[in-house]
Amino acid sequence: MSAVASSTALAHDARELAALMLADRPERWRHTIGVARRAEELVATVDSSHDADLLVAAAWLHDIGYAAALHDTGFHPLDGARYLDRCRWPIRVAALVANHSGALTVARVRGLADLMAPYPHEQSPVSDALIYADQTVGPNGQTMTPEHRLAEVLSRHGPGSPQAVAHPERAPILLAAIHRVEQRLLKVAAR
């Protein structure tokens, strides 16, 4: 894929790429559709239309690293971000993918933190909204509470997994971001 032409086409191009990369992963594709739809519902919580485009694009792309063709490190946030980087997507999109849903905490457990360094970790309304979207949509695109989503991830990966080891550090980060989004949603509703 060539470089993305403009930010106005960003979400469209992201959707097309995700559909292509996740074509053989129907459960992951359904999750991705749900996360992108949830992200679209959250655009009022970010600061600008540019940030809204970035949020929706990152939501479409957040799990492309699960594609077999992109398997490099075996850590989907990093594999997806590295692919986006090679294809010259905006660095902020690649960084949001690399760092989505507390991925850095899991990368540390897996010994991959150094490989995450090229992808700046941001804490912003955009990264919070991406966490909210990912942590309120289950594997098949169904709505879930954040608590059920965290439990589902732990169950799916198992008690000795890097996700389980990172959980004591990761869960509070995710829940704090979700709380910030809920506060922003309240402010939006009060307008």
pLDDT in single tens digits along all 191 residues of the chain: 333 333 468 999 999 999 999 999 999 999 999 999 999 999 999 999 999 999 999 999 999 999 999 999 999 999 999 999 999 999 999 999 999 999 999 999 999 999 999 999 999 999 999 999 999 999 999 999 999 999 999 999 999 999 999 999 999 999 999 999 999 999 999 98
Calculate helix-pair angle for 146-157, 162-190, nearest 10 degrees. Answer: 160
Q: What are the residue boundaries of the structural domains of the chain, listed by start? A: 7-190
CATH class of 7-190: mainly alpha
Annotate 131-174 with DSSP letters as a single string. HHHHHTB-TTS-B--HHHHHHHHHHHH-TTSHHHHHHHHHHHHH
**94, 119 contact by CB (below 8 A):** yes
Alpha carbons within 13 angstroms on the beta-carbon side of residue 21 total: 26
pLDDT digits (tens, 9 = 90+) for 69-99: 999 999 999 999 999 999 999 999 999 999 9
d(CA 154, CA 163): 7
The DSSP secondary-structure symbol of 176 reads H
